[in-house]
Structures are given as structure tokens and as C-alpha cells.
Structure 1
């Protein structure tokens, strides 16, 4: 198929929103810590660690979630995808938020809060209107999640502007558990579903039956942890995280993850999800055991490995449509997912590299940027080709698939 013009860029939400997420993942880390260490001006929000935390949670993660939900909406409500002006306004609000945070020291606090609320208000209104009017009531919970994320952003900024750094970081940690919960809810269904589809397309034997009860228990443990954090019951919160991590390990044990190495696109989902129980176990276990390993470093198993890795592995599928019914991994996406894995390992090794911690952190940031550069190179295919449905998966396998007949 031939290329489409720039006017078609706004025909589907995954194009501008996933592109914005990938660009900001690259730019934010390339700016701080890498760029600032080389002499670039600092972002106008102090301390810089709070800008870093804010932009990855409320900038990168939020626009990635917007891309996923708005891409899935047509299937949920049986309507055409959002396009055109509404997407332009949504992206404009998101860009305005990033600019306001970059020069937050020059923006009045009330204006800063207002600007950063615009994206969440419009996104939540759009999701709630479409899901409720389409009677997809269970999916309306995504709109509630966006509302809660917007409220958390306001509270984070108010506390940070008041000079309470530790309070801001506590809010960020609560948001991180909420993000892990959302990733668990989506990923624990999506990863085995895509895996089973690949197995059926390629004529492989079916995997184990979904561990729905274990998955529900793992999600319940994370909900308990989030509630305990909000109530100030830290020991219970972190014990629940360890329990959830253990349950997720049992869930993953049924996925036969090593068998997916034959398909990098599917394997990338499994290897990214792997960091979720690891990250939850580290965050919960290190709090309870008071180990010498810094908790602030351990959370990168969640942020870089699990959350960012799954965002990359899922959004990158939009660029993997080929001539057949099954999605095919492109080399640049496979490389990007491998680089994210390396970046995660390096970042977790930094506290253990006596005397070279800063250098290892810099290496991790460099691999992160290289990963998103590689991703962006491959994602250009999703911007050039006409929109395909479904966007993030191939056609459902049928008994008449020639490939299945040949391999059965």
C-alpha cells in the first residue's frame, strides 16, 4: 500500500498519541540527566528529580494510556475511532502541559495546575462519554482512572510547590502502584491472549488455560496495597505487594514464556511483563526487610522494565502489519525491546557498582534513549501506512487459515 499524506496523520489516535509518548520518553531522559550533565539548561522545576518523576508518570505514561484506550475504544463501543480536531486539541493540551512544566518556575502555581489539568479533563470526558453512551460500562473505569490520575497530578504539584519533596515522592509512589495495577489488569489478559493467537496462527499446541483465579487474586492484592498506602498502613501495603508478586509468578508459569522466543513480537510482551512481579517483589520486600539496596533504585524494575517495556511492546505492534494475517516483528522494534531490557538491568546494577554508580546510571540512560530512537525508527511505518483494523493485533485465526493447515 502506498503512503498516506500528513492529513491522514490525525485519522487514528494511536499515531499522534503513541508518537508523543515515544518522543517524550526519549526527550525527557535525553534532557535530564544526560543533557544537563553536558551543559544544557535545566528544566524549570526543582528539585529536578521531581520534574523527572512527574514527566514520566503524568507525561509519558498518561499519553501512552490515552493512546491505548482511544485505540481500543472503537472495538469496545462499535464506533469509528476518534480523529481530527478532537485529537489535535488533546495533543495540544498535552504539549502545553509539557511546556508549562519545563518552565514551571516562571508559571504562577494556579495557572500551572490549570494547564496540567486540561489534558486529563478532556481525555476523561471523552472516554466516559464514549463508553457510557456505548453502554460499555465496565470500560468506563478507564475514564475513572484518568480522573484519579489527573487529581494525583494536581496534588503532586501542590505538594511539590509547597516544598515538601518527600510528600511529593510518596504521592508518586502511590501513583506507581496504581500504574502497576493498571498494567497488571491490562497485561495479564492481553499477553496470554496475543500469545494464544500467535500459537493458533502458527499451528502450535495451545497453552495452558488462563489462570483467572490467580490473576484476580494478584489484582486484589495490589488493590489492597494501594488502599493501605492511602490509609498510611505501610507494612500491610508492602506485604500485599510481595503477595501479588508471588501470585503473578504463578500466573506467568502457565504462559510457557520461553516458547515465545520463536516470535520476538510476542516474546517482548512476556519479557517486559517479567519485570512486573520482580518490581513488586523488590518494592515490597525491600521495605519489609530494610535491606541495604536503595528502594529508590529498585522501583526502576517497574518503571523501566515493566511499565515502559510493555508500553513499547504494545504500541510498537501498530507498525508490525505485514501481508499476512499475523503481525511480524520489525528488526528495529526487536532491538528497542532488547535495549530496554539492558537499560533496566544496568539501572538496577548501579547501586552495586562501587565507585561507578554514576557511570552505570549514565549508561542505563543512554541505552534507554537508544531504545526509543530505535522504536521511533520502526514506528514511522505506522505513520505512513493507511489505518488497519485491528491496530494492535492481527486477524483472528480460523480453521481455514492455510498456515494452520500446513503446520497442523
Structure 2
């Protein structure tokens, strides 16, 4: 029987089509930087795209469903074969999936010239294909423990469809049900999958250094945290500005801080590739506390949502992309000064955006946030381009 490694070695086409993370992580980085540059131009009064979405909704959609959609595709197409023992999607079928993602971006960009249904179908084609792929692999491999991931992927698809429906009705989808549901799914995915990879990677790194205190393994308490998380996110989606949501979000935030403290992140300062996972996950509880603050009138809701959007989703996805690319390219799991600078730039962007949301008069902070964001993802693309576009043996360690 052909193994995953043999199938990848037998591929003789472009190296970028040799594994799922390669095209999708590169597209995600390019889009994160490019879409932010276009967003800055839109804020300056330039009408760049003939899109049917208002500028704010385009910005929100293309980060949550566009950028994160590419990261999710790259992650699942790379991780699922490891979970199930199945063969990965490589070569021209992988190129076709990447083409579906590009099709969605193009359809939304020119959606003023398209019927809303055509735009929605073009944008939903990739997540639908991913759902079919994941369902097939779970059933074929009897890998039932990953059914929650499939359920969340289906919810993410529904959230995107709701966003398109709200846009077609002429409402403001940037503050609609679809966005909240999509964001809630993203936070739940980070809580679920991050709860596996952060302590696991940390344990491996600390064990190599003979540390005496290791992360606490997953237990019933973690299951309780995830249940509370789901309840708080459901309240956020249904009624974000209520006292019940504030109470549940506050409890969920504190429970995630407790969970994070058990993973020994304070011992990982010597390796940015590890501590960034803890920093990215930290924005999950901070986002819950910010939502609680917004629901009780202490913070603008838009500022609170950016803690999750830019912080949890942005930093955690960047951490996963940088680490997974190195690991699957066969390179040492180490982040040098340039990669560390990329992480710090994104943290600066998140903090600047949060402060700008609290004190709207500080326009300079918005420019700082956008510039740092572009620097972070632009830096990722420059550093990781040779890793994802060249054969494994020709890849070089980023500095």
C-alpha cells in the first residue's frame, strides 16, 4: 500500500502542490497582507473593488471567511491524513481546491456584477468540498473523535451562507448573525484543537530539556471548560449585549485563563515557536473578558471582537502556519530572529487595534495596527516562500 510519504515523493509536479499546507498557507499569508492594504486604501476613500459588500463587511468577511478559510483548508488537508492514516490530497486535485478558494475571492471582489446566489455558491464551494473530504475520511477511518471538527466546519459553512444572505438583503452583515456565528466557530476550533496542540507541543519541548514540571494532560476539567465555552459562545451568537452573555463570557474567560496556566507557558520563553502558541491562545480568554466588558457597557463591541479576530484567530493561525510548515518540510522546529519579529509585529497590531477601538480619536494607532499587520504577514510570506514552494530537500531554515 502506498504511504503518505511515498505518495508525496512520487509527485513530480510543482512542489507547492506536494502537500495541503503549501498552497493554502501561502495564499493565506498573501491575502492577509494584501487585503489589509486594500482595506487601508478603502478607508482613504479609494473605491478599489466592484463588490456588492459595503467596505466594512468586505473587510470582515475576507478575513474571517477568506483568510481563515485558507488556513483551515491548509490545516485540515495536512492534519487529516495524520489523524486517519489516509492518503493526502496532492497534485492537481489540490490545485483545484486552491482554485476554488481563489474563485471565492474573485466572485466577492466583482459581486456587484453577479447575482447574489452565484457569488455565494462560488464562495461556499471550498468549505463544502472540505466538509465532504473530512466526512469521507472520518467515516472511512472510523475516526469518530474528530466528528466535533466536522460539526464546526459545517457551522462555519452555515455562518458564511448567513453572511451572504444578510448582504443580499441589504443589511449590515459585519454586525450580523453570520459574522458572530463564524467567529464563535473559530474560537471554538481554537479552544478544541489548540487545547490539543499547545500542551502537546509544549510537553515535547520541555521534555527535551528535562523539565520537571510539564503541562497538565487533557482531563474532565478541560471537557467542562469546553462545555462552558460552547454555552458562552451560543449566548454571544444569539444575544451578544445581554447580562447573561456577560456572565457566561466572564466565566468562560476565567476558565480558559486557568486552563492556559496549567500548560507551563512561563517556561517556554527560550523558543518563540512555542511561546507564541500560548500567546495566541491567551487571546481566547481575553476575548471572552472583552465581550463581557462590551455586554456591560465598558467596551465597544467592535473593540472586543478584534481581540478574538486579530488576536486569537490572527496570532494562533500564524503560529500554526509557521510551525506546521517547518515540521512538514523536515526543518528544525526553531524560530529565529526574523520569525520572532513577525510574531511581535502581529502582537503590536492587535494591541494597537484594541486601544484604537477604545479611544477612537487615536487615528494613528489604526495606521500602526494596519502597518504592523501587513509587516507580520508580509514577513511570513517572504520568509516561508522558499519552504512552501521548493521541494523538501531544497528548503532552507528561516533565519
Give me the whole-angstrom Cα distance separating, in 2, the residues matched to 1:286 and 1:85: 47
For residue 121 of structure 1, give the secondary structure of its aligned residue in structure 2.
helix
Q: Does 1:374 align with 2:379?
A: yes
Q: Does 1:156 align with 2:167?
A: no
Q: Does 1:29 align with 2:36?
A: yes
Structure 1, unpaired ranges of 5+: 389-408
Count the aligned residue pairs: 382
Q: Does 1:239 align with 2:247?
A: yes
Q: Does 1:283 align with 2:288?
A: no
Residue 161 of structure 1 and its aligned partner are, at CA, apart by 1.6
Change (3 A) 1:148 1:18: same
Instruction: Work out whether residues 319 and 381 of structure 1, in 8 Å CA contact, stay in contact via their aligned partners in 2.
Output: no
Give me the whole-angstrom Cα distance separating, in 2, the residues matched to 1:78 and 1:58: 28
Q: Does 1:51 align with 2:58?
A: yes
Residue 325 of structure 1 and its aligned partner are, at CA, apart by 8.5
- Superposed CA deviations along residues 182-219 of structure 1, whole A, max 9, x for unmatched, are 11111122111100100112232242423633322221
Instruction: Work out whether residues 199 and 215 of structure 2, in 8 Å CA contact, stay in contact via their aligned partners in 1.
Output: no
Match of 1:327 in 2: 333
Give me the whole-angstrom Cα distance separating, in 2, the residues matched to 1:195 and 1:313: 13
Residue 97 of structure 1 and its aligned partner are, at CA, apart by 0.5
Which of 66, 71, 79 aligns to 1:64? It is 71
Give me the whole-angstrom Cα distance separating, in 1, the residues matched to 2:60 and 2:231: 24
Residue 159 of structure 1 and its aligned partner are, at CA, apart by 1.2
Q: Which runs of 4+ in 1 moved over 3 A?
A: 226-235, 318-326, 351-355, 384-388
Instruction: Work out whether residues 73 and 130 of structure 2, in 8 Å CA contact, stay in contact via their aligned partners in 1.
Output: yes
Structure 2, unpaired ranges of 5+: 1-10, 394-399
For residue 261 of structure 1, give the secondary structure of its aligned residue in structure 2.
coil
RMSD: 2.5
Match of 2:397 in 1: none
Instruction: Work out whether residues 318 and 382 of structure 1, in 8 Å CA contact, stay in contact via their aligned partners in 2.
Output: no
Which residues in structure 2 correspond to 1:377-388 (within 5 Å)?
377-384=382-389, 386-387=391-392
Residue 128 of structure 1 and its aligned partner are, at CA, apart by 0.8
Change (3 A) 1:211 1:117: closer
Change (3 A) 1:71 1:256: same
Instruction: Work out whether residues 214 and 248 of structure 1, in 8 Å CA contact, stay in contact via their aligned partners in 2.
Output: no
Give me the whole-angstrom Cα distance separating, in 1, the residues matched to 2:22 and 2:390: 11
Give me the whole-angstrom Cα distance separating, in 2, the residues matched to 1:137 and 1:186: 15
Change (3 A) 1:383 1:36: same
Match of 1:305 in 2: 311
Residue 322 of structure 1 and its aligned partner are, at CA, apart by 11
Match of 2:86 in 1: 79
Give me the whole-angstrom Cα distance separating, in 1, the residues matched to 2:175 and 2:347: 28
Give me the whole-angstrom Cα distance separating, in 2, the residues matched to 1:342 and 1:369: 11
Residue 225 of structure 1 and its aligned partner are, at CA, apart by 2.3
Change (3 A) 1:55 1:156: same
Which of 262, 265, 286 aligns to 2:270? It is 262
TM-score, length basis structure 1: 0.87
Match of 1:7 in 2: 14
Match of 1:131 in 2: 138
Residue 144 of structure 1 and its aligned partner are, at CA, apart by 2.8
Residue 362 of structure 1 and its aligned partner are, at CA, apart by 1.6
Give me the whole-angstrom Cα distance separating, in 1, the residues matched to 2:187 and 2:272: 23
For residue 269 of structure 2, give the secondary structure of its aligned residue in structure 1.
helix
Instruction: Work out whether residues 132 and 140 of structure 1, in 8 Å CA contact, stay in contact via their aligned partners in 2.
Output: no
Question: More displaced, 255-264 or 201-210?
Answer: 201-210
- Superposed CA deviations along residues 254-304 of structure 1, whole A, max 9, x for unmatched, are 2232211111110111111111111111012320x212x311012111111
